[in-house]
Structure 1
Amino acid sequence: MKQKISNDEFQQLFDEMVIQFAEKQTPKIWHQMAMEWNETSVFLHWLADNPNTDKATALMLYWMSGPRYFKQFKNREEAGSNTSKFDLIENIESKYLNGFYNKQNFSFDPNTADFSGTVWVEEYLDKTIVREIPVIMFEKLEGEMVEEPEGFIEGMPPELYDLHDELCEKYGF
């Protein structure tokens, strides 16, 4: 018989499982997970707050989160229901500017098409911004080019996806 828990309880268990998994992985795996992450933002916030996160991963995460879209708002209250992403962008930007991300082994260029064909600095150009994106956030970072992950499902490596499936099976999700 499957145990019954609420959606919120399931999500909390899943988020904890993701962080426990991530803590045992390398910064390169974190980078690959972030490239395609399609789950809750708990993992992304963990990455943003982790001093071992590569500077290129932080910059990629920043641009993939749509900073220009959120720069149309003066503050988090104006962002409405998008406060989690607003907070993520502001947190990464602040830490990036203050040198929090001091490891830099990977490359990322927000001005050039990535593996998905997206040029991140061209996203949301139709938005009128009220707060500037700092110039440093546009700068290319040199380093190892991290390849698009193979076998990942919505940003989850196969091992993590299997754990996710087990959790779903256990609780009937």
Structure 2
Amino acid sequence: MTPDEFDRASRALLQDYLLKASPEQRHIYVARRNYDDSPELLAWLADRSELDRATALMMYWSLGAAWFTQYAADGDVPEHEREAHAIVRRIEQRYIDGFYAGRGLAFDPGNWPGPSMGDYPGLVMRRNVPDAMRVAVVGEQACDPFAEAVDTVFDDGLPLALAAQLHDMAAGVQPDRGPALGDAVAGEIDIWADVTPPTLLPMATAADPGWVVLETFLGQASPQECHQLMLFADTSALSDALQWLLEQPTLAASSALAFYWNLGASWYVPFATIEDVPESHRYTAAVLRRIEQRLADDGYADHGLGFDLARIRPRFPTRWPGRDERRAIPGQMWRPRPGQIVDESEDVDFITGLPEDIAEALANARG
């Protein structure tokens, strides 16, 4: 099965499930699905009038309605965000027009653990959210998609049997990658040669019960501690924290450069534009481009920290043999930066890159 065949087959399977699903099952899917996945299925679901009004409103906020208030006009939205933005606008208009017929479920956008209007206090609003989209839906039935009982029978918003079926289908697909890299090719590079690089998700700090722990730590962390995160952190556990650091002008340029390579920048050279990148990695590709631009603009600090690919072993190789190069990595990203080379500390958690006590507090907060 090719990746295109998998995309078509998995979408058909999910559409069939959602057509037959109860309002509660659709609500759980929208709440807990991986929003880094293809948005086509959400667009399809948003076009169906039988979708419960509460679920449509939850999808609206989950897709980043609060984030999009910074754009006064549709043309101001960055290209890589336009698909999600278009769905948000379509839901908004249909919701106000009474398109969604279902009235069974309750949902309060101001009182749930997911994205809401208060997520971006520093954001300059250039477009208001209509009052109707802020008001709670008073339904006959409450459905908590994050209840412990849901955890036992659903995975990423899908019944376990269906999730397993999709997983088995995906296992038969060879992802777009270079050849497996053994020691003869990779040398001393520390890589996971048989997998694609990690992905980042759009920031959703309000949905993370551990964000207060992370925000408190990041606000007082030393440049060296921040550098440890950029060198060794697991992106799946700290996607928001790493992106938050990238937006800080106080972050060391060497730290941003370390994170650039640990995101697997070399994997993206076959794609001339962000739109060419597989959808699963398109958001991450945009983050990589922003790092390039910030470094070119001297948008980061110094702190006396250095970075040198000859001395630091990134998680992914700096070159993937066998991959066509349609977009070269800028020369500045290859050049060593003078300063202190920070080695991996034995005092940090080996998975998160956080100090042990902070990693423990984060795990406790997340339950």
TM-score by length of 2: 0.43
Query: In the aligned structure 2, how far is the partner of 1:40 from the partner of 1:157?
Result: 19
1:118 Cα deviation from its structure 2 partner: 4.0
1:68 corresponds in structure 2 to 66
Counterpart selection for 2:29 from 33, 41, 46 = 33
- Higher Cα radius of gyration: 2
1:145 corresponds in structure 2 to 142
1:160 corresponds in structure 2 to 162
Cα offsets for 1:78-131 (capped at 9, x unmatched): 22211111011001000001110122111111111x2xx346121123221221
SS of structure 2 residue aligned to 1:83: helix
Matching residue's letter, 1:12: R
Q: 1:155 to 1:40 in 2, by over 3 A?
A: farther
Query: In the aligned structure 2, how far is the partner of 1:92 from the partner of 1:99?
Result: 10
1:46 Cα deviation from its structure 2 partner: 2.0
TM-score by length of 1: 0.86
SS of structure 1 residue aligned to 2:12: helix
1:104 corresponds in structure 2 to 103
1:37 Cα deviation from its structure 2 partner: 0.9
SS of structure 2 residue aligned to 1:171: coil
8 Å CA contact 2:107–2:137 kept in 1: the answer is: yes
1:78 corresponds in structure 2 to 76
Query: In the aligned structure 2, how far is the partner of 1:118 from the partner of 1:14?
Result: 26
Matching residue's letter, 1:21: Y
> How many corresponding residue pairs?
166
SS of structure 1 residue aligned to 2:154: coil
Q: 1:119 to 1:48 in 2, by over 3 A?
A: closer
**Ranges in structure 2 where 5+ consecutive residues have no aligned partner:** 176-367
2:54 corresponds in structure 1 to 56
Query: In the aligned structure 1, how far is the partner of 2:122 from the partner of 2:58?
Result: 21
8 Å CA contact 1:68–1:124 kept in 2: the answer is: yes
Matching residue's letter, 2:86: D
**Ranges in structure 1 where 5+ consecutive residues have no aligned partner:** none
Query: In the aligned structure 2, how far is the partner of 1:35 from the partner of 1:159?
Result: 19
Kindly report structure 1 stretches of 4+ aligned residues shifted beyond 4 Å: none
Matching residue's letter, 1:155: G
Query: In the aligned structure 1, how far is the partner of 2:73 from the partner of 2:15?
Result: 29
Using the aligned pairs only, state the percent identity: 25
Query: In the aligned structure 1, how far is the partner of 2:121 from the partner of 2:132?
Result: 18
RMSD: 1.8
